[in-house]
Amino acid sequence: MTVALVGAGPGDPDLLTVRAARLLAEADVVVHDALVGDGVLAIVSPTAELIDVGKRPGRPIPQEMISALLVELGRQGRRVVRLKGGDPFVFGRGGEEALALQAAAVPFEVVPGITSSVAAPAAAGIPVTHRGMSAAFTVVTGHRRAGEHDVDWRSLAKVGGTIVVLMGVAQRASIAAELIAGGLDPATPVAAVHRATTEQQDVVRCELADLHATAIDSPAVIVIGPVAALNLTAILELSA
C-alpha cells in the first residue's frame, strides 16, 4: 500500500487507532490537516517529511491540488500517510482523495478514526443516544454555500433525536432560528465543545433560544437535544 488515508481522531494522541500509530511511525511522508495537533504529529517518524496542507483563513488550498499531490507522492512509491482530523470519511473530503487515487490506479487504504461528532460530545459527558431520551443522532454540517444552508434545518427539527453540528459556529444564529421555526422547543439544551480531548477543551452550555448570543470559539462540535443537558464525566475526587 503506498497511500493511507488515516483518521487522526479528535486530538488526544491516545485516541489514535493502533494502525494509525503504526503507519505514522513507518511513514516516509505525512500530508496533514490544520486540525491535527502536535501531540499526534509527535508520533511521526523523525525522518519523515511533513507537509502541512491545512486550509486556513487566507490560505485556501484547492482540494484538487491536495489530491494531485497524493497521486504524485503515491506514484513515487513512498509510504504516504494522508492524516486527517477525526475520521477521513466524515466531512473530511477523504472520499474525493480516494476517488483521485483510484482513478490514477495508485494503491491506497482507508484507516478510520474516531470522529469528533461522537468524541466531542463524549468528552463533555454527553452520550449522543440515551435510552428514553434520544433514539438517534444526526450529524450535519453547519457550513453554508453561497448564502444557502446545505441542510434543511426545518425538516431536521422534526426528525427527533440528537443533532450534532460540525463547522456550525459561524452560522449558529441562523441554525438555531431555522430549528425553532421548524418546531424545535426554544428551551432545548445545547452544548458546544471546543477543541475536544485537547488541553484547550472548553464546553459551553445554553438553551437553543440563546445560542445566537452565546460565545463559542471555533472549531467546535455543537450538540442539540435533551442529552446536551447531561454531564456524565468521571468524578475524579471523591469526598472523604
Which positions are annotated as active-site residues? 33, 55, 167
Q: Closest approach of Cβ 159 to ligand SAM, in Å? A: 20
- Contact (Cβ atoms closer than 8 angstroms) between residue 159 and residue 136: yes
What are the C-alpha distances in Å from 205 to residues 119, 157, 191, 209, 224?
A: 17, 19, 4, 12, 10
Q: Is 108 in the site for ligand SAM (CB under 6 A)?
A: no
Separation of alpha carbons 93 and 86, rounded Å: 12
Q: Closest approach of Cβ 218 to ligand SAM, in Å? A: 6
Other Cβ atoms less than 10 A from the Cβ of 18: the count is: 7
Which CB sits closer to ligand SAM, 37 or 161? 37
Q: Checking DSSP bridges between strand 162-166 and strand 202-207, what pairing results, if any? A: unpaired
Nearest to 223 by CA among 194, 181, 201: 194
Q: Is 91 in the site for ligand SAM (CB under 6 A)?
A: yes
Cis peptide before 219 (omega within 30 of 0): yes
Q: Is 171 in the site for ligand SAM (CB under 6 A)?
A: no
Residues 179-238 that bind ligand SAM (CB under 6 A): 193-197, 219-221
Which CB sits closer to ligand SAM, 67 or 197? 197
Render 30-57 in DSSP notation, one character per residue: EEE-TTS-HHHHTTS-TTSEEEE---BT
- Contact (Cβ atoms closer than 8 angstroms) between residue 221 and residue 121: yes
Q: Closest approach of Cβ 8 to ligand SAM, in Å? A: 9
Q: Which of 2, 67, 116, 134 binds ligand SAM (CB under 6 A)?
A: 116
C-alpha cell recorded at residue 21: 500509530
Length of the chain: 240
Location of C-alpha cell 494522541:
13
Q: Closest approach of Cβ 105 to ligand SAM, in Å? A: 26
Which CB sits closer to ligand SAM, 49 or 202? 202
Residues in binding contact with ligand SAM, number by CB under 6 A: 24
Q: Is 31 in the site for ligand SAM (CB under 6 A)?
A: no
Q: Is 66 in the site for ligand SAM (CB under 6 A)?
A: no
Q: Which of 4, 5, 6, 10 binds ligand SAM (CB under 6 A)?
A: 10
Separation of alpha carbons 14 and 26, rounded Å: 18
Q: Which of 2, 115, 162, 188 binds ligand SAM (CB under 6 A)?
A: 115
Q: Closest approach of Cβ 140 to ligand SAM, in Å? A: 11
Q: Which of 16, 73, 166, 184 binds ligand SAM (CB under 6 A)?
A: 166
Point out which residues bind ligand SAM (CB under 6 A): 10-11, 35, 84-87, 90-92, 115-117, 120, 166-167, 193-197, 219-221
